[in-house]
Amino acid sequence: MKSFSILAASLAALLVAGCQSQQAQSVENAYDNQADRLENQADKLRDAGDNLMDSTRNRADNLADRLDNSADALRDAGEKKADEVENRLDD
């Protein structure tokens, strides 16, 4: 809504003044400034998204590592139990 107000005021001033060069430049500058602010917001949003993706990826990697470690520990426990059973049968 604020940008619309700036646009309307700029256009009204442009029409009333008879399209003077300085006023036309002021209108263009107002639009450029608004566009720059929007681009800055877009960049900040992209950066925040990248940070979220990196954070999520790191958490997923950590969880996957923990699951792999649990699987390895379970296999080791199974081998140990199998060795115990085999040793009993040998006795």
Domain count, the chain: 1
Number of residues that this document lists for the chain: 91
Domain that holds residue 39: 2-90
Q: The tokens of 6 are what?
A: 């700036």
pTM: 0.52
pLDDT in tens, 51-91: 999 999 999 999 999 999 999 999 999 999 999 998 888 87
Q: Report how far residue 58's alpha carbon sits from residue 45's, in angstroms, rounded to the nearest whole number.
A: 20
Measured CA to CA, the distance from residue 39 to residue 35 in angstroms comes to: 6
Q: What is the pLDDT of residues 21-51, one digit of tens each?
A: 888 889 999 999 999 999 999 999 999 999 9
pLDDT of res. 74: 97
